[in-house]
Chains A and B, each alone.
Chain A
């Protein structure tokens, strides 16, 4: 104790812990929860309008596996309604302003879905290429979507999203030429950030790449 004024002793203590440790632990808990039910989790990340819900609409039809979807949005039930229209169970999470989902929110959704009846759970994050990238949800993999109208220079601008993903899905390939989008450039830039990325060039409109993506997922789920 300090003799002059009686204040406590000053110390510096080393901590060296990840700031988002609590979320990481909640994500690990979600992963175990999914695995207990034999469910493979896939998170979808991308800008608003990148085509996340549209990709799910075509993919769930092609996949041939029982699936469910957690939809994350700031407001509205719209996306969950679109998915239910396909006969797929969906739970809508609304963050009420927050720009990302976190593991705790997703855990709440898990209890509203028939996990024993499905093989794959898709978790569609809030449309945003920045904030959601920092918060793991407990899915087995994360797919990042980049639509051709967004431009082929986005990976280096939003590095975290591309570094933390296992799959890059380029969407709206039917518009690539009109948008001046060079898939080669986008892919090279993304691979420079993350050499392990698997890349799929897709179009929900023409069906390009959808079967390849479905086959990739079927192999992972086996």
Chain B
């Protein structure tokens, strides 16, 4: 399970970005996780619930995960669809082994936070 390492990296990055913008406390962290990113969203959440509260800025910050599907494209007829399973054949012509596109995202999208008074 490498989600703990990924979560530490996420908190480091979010902390850096939040402090740069004068955060007093972080309310919500939004991330984008592709289904083929190799990161399991539930394990990331599990790690976040353990590691987030250890950092003062993130004591009560929630995590929002936007899970992104990959796309499949048939190599024969060009049909594009969102596959349930990445090995499924083309639903239109039956050709196996479509090209799998996208779904690799692992990004910090945005941070909701309370900023210090100017």
A residues lining the B interface (CB < 8 Å):
1, 7-23, 98-100, 102, 130-135, 156, 159-161, 163, 188-189, 191-193, 195
Contact = CB atoms under 8 A, between A and B. Distances in A.
- The A interface is mostly helix, strand or loop, or mixed, namely mixed
B114 A19 contact: no
A172 B87 CA distance: 24
Given A12-B113, A19-B10, 8 more contacts: A20-B9, A22-B9, A98-B5, A131-B2, A131-B38, A156-B86, A159-B38, A189-B97
A193 B13 contact: no
Contacts of A192: 86-87, 97-100
A10 B112 contact: yes
Contact of B113 (A10, A20, A134, A135): A10
- The B interface is mostly helix, strand or loop, or mixed, namely mixed
Contacts of B94: none
5 nearest A-B pairs in the assembled complex, by CB-CB distance: A160-B38, A131-B2, A192-B97, A8-B114, A156-B87
Contacts of B42: none
A163 B21 CA distance: 36
B107 interface: yes
Contacts of B108: 15-19
Contacts of A163: 36, 100, 104
B10 A17 contact: no
A102 B8 CA distance: 13
29 contacts: A7-B114, A8-B24, A8-B117, A9-B117, A11-B113, A11-B115, A12-B110, A12-B112, A15-B110, A17-B13, A17-B107, A18-B107, A19-B9, A19-B107, A20-B6, A21-B9, A23-B9, A100-B5, A130-B38, A131-B2, A132-B2, A134-B6, A134-B39, A156-B85, A160-B38, A163-B36, A192-B97, A193-B86, A195-B99
Contacts of A188: 96-97
Given A8-B115, A99-B1, A189-B97, A18 B106 contact: yes
Interface string B49-82: 0000000000000000000000000000000000
Nearest to A100: B2
B9 to A, nearest CB: 5
A14 B29 CA distance: 10
A199 to B, nearest CB: 14
A161 B97 CA distance: 17
Nearest to B70: A159
A8 B117 CA distance: 6
Contacts of B93: none
Contacts of B47: none
